[in-house]
Structure 1
Amino acid sequence: MSRALLIVDVQNDFTEGGALAVEGGDAVAAAVTLFLAAHADDYDVIIASRDWHDADGDNGGHFALAPDYVDSWPVHCVAGTEGAEYDPLLATDAVTHHVRKGQGKPAYSMFEGRTEAGETVGAILTAAGALTADVVGIATDHCVRATALDAIAHGVRVRIFTDLVAGVASAPSEAALAELVHAGAEVAESPDA
């Protein structure tokens, strides 16, 4: 039985000082790095995702001058910009696959993205025989939620490490975690917490 670690959108635009900064984002980046230093060998596959939106256009309505912060957002994570890069506190040397999502369209789940070679997360997990996945990253109430739900739909047993995620706001983050538990995920602190 193979295990996967899914690291969701730990990027400059989602950490402190970014276009859509999430409070605690830098702390998550640093904590995930410490976790990887101790546990990378526990995983057969480590996949990290990044929003990677087109510089031109509104990315299928995802970017808006007057965003509703539900379906539309300010400009963020534009391909090739500093905001789209991984937070510098996140060490990515143990990552086996890098996925980009959201080119020209809204995308929340890393399952909507592809590697540079065109691989999907679902195909990577299937090829590795991954039956379990731990999920960490940003933001609990948006992309972490969507990724975990898609992993469950893919037939993977999911665990979210609550000390390795950060959400936009506490109420929707708590609701997202409750929804994930209802869908079959386990919510726990990481082994070293």
Structure 2
Amino acid sequence: MTRALFIIDVQNDFTEGGALGVDGGTAVATHLTSYLERAADSYSLVIASRDWHSPDGDNGGHFARIGEEPDFLDTWPVHCVAGTPGADYHPALDQSHITLHVKKGQGEPAYSIFDGLVDGGASDGATITDVLESHGVTEVDVAGIATDYCVRASVLDAVEHGRHVRVFTDLIAGVARETSDAALAEMGHAGAVLVGSDAD
């Protein structure tokens, strides 16, 4: 097999009730678990990313400074701080099928899974590019949160790195309809294929 699944940032802080919760985030976690139950064996790798921000400082300007309002473009409220419940995977996401975990944004802004490093195991500290190349992965499917930010960045990077990319439109959730629609159009224009998870 030469296909990997990227699960992008299905974390408590990005689902309903979290610091940056999006509508539909819990549903993404639940439906991803159902999808993995039937499809995990079709992937050579299932790679899940998490924002994992430092509790100290503003993480390279990613967090709005104390006393300043976030602009929700470059600066954000405090979220997904390392070791806090907000940084944990949503409990509805079954982690048993995940083969590699990636932490990103450790002290700096990071949106794409390609900005992170593998956490744990034989590949500890490796980049996603290294992992995909070492496993001969040519195709990548993408699901997760948020469509208009970290999913978008991860998809565009995967395409740029020469992978054939599919985005599962029923397994993503975005911050806003307008920006999510624009992100999907951008991903499609870049070469990603927009499909449902039942496409196979």
Is the pair's TM-score, using the shorter chain for normalization, greater than 0.5? yes
Question: Quick one: which of 81, 105, 108 aligns to 2:108?
Answer: 105
Aligned length: 193
Secondary structure of residue in 2 paired with 1:155 = coil
Q: Which amino acid aligns with 2:180?
A: S
1:27 to 2:48 alignment: no
The answer to whether 1:190 aligns with 2:193 is: no
Unaligned runs of 5+ in 2: none
**Alignment match, 2:176:** 169
For residues 72-126 of structure 1, the C-alpha deviation after alignment (integer angstroms, 9 at most, x for no partner) is 0000000000000000000111111000000110000010000121011111111
Q: Distance in 1 between matches of 2:150 and 2:10?
A: 11
- Residue 137 (structure 2) aligns with: 130
CA distance in 2, matches of 1:149, 1:6: 13
User: What is the percent sequence identity of the aligned residues?
Assistant: 60
Picking from 154, 159, 165, the partner of 2:166 is: 159
Residue 59 of structure 1: SS of its match in structure 2? coil
User: Is it true that 1:89 corresponds to 2:92 in the alignment?
Assistant: yes
Mark the CA change 1:156 to 1:28 in structure 2 (over 3 Å): closer, same or farther: same
What is the SS of the residue equivalent to 2:102? strand
Tell me the alpha carbon deviations over residues 134-191 of structure 1, each in whole angstroms, 9 at most, x when there is no partner. Answer: 0000000000000000101111000000000000001100100000010000001111
> Separation in 2 of the partners of 1:49 and 1:142?
13
Determine which of 114, 118, 122 is the counterpart of 2:117. 114
In 1, Cα distance between equivalents of 2:97 and 2:133? 20
Q: Using the alignment, how far apart are the partners of 2:118 and 2:199 within structure 1? A: 30
Q: 1:140 aligns with which of 144, 147, 151?
A: 147
Query: Secondary structure at 2:118's aligned position in 1?
Result: coil
Give me the whole-angstrom Cα distance separating, in 2, the residues matched to 1:50 and 1:146: 14
SS at match of 2:97: coil
Amino acid at match of 1:56: D
Where do 4+ consecutive residues of structure 1 move more than 6 Å? none
**CA–CA distance in structure 1, aligned partners of residues 141 and 158 of structure 2:** 10
Q: Secondary structure at the match of 1:130?
A: coil
Task: Give 1:192 deviation, angstroms.
Answer: 7.2
CA distance in 2 between counterparts of 1:92 and 1:120 reads 21
The aligned amino acid for 2:187 is L
Aligned residue type for 2:36: L
Structure 1 unaligned residues grouped into runs of 5+? none
Corresponding residue for residue 2 of structure 1: 2
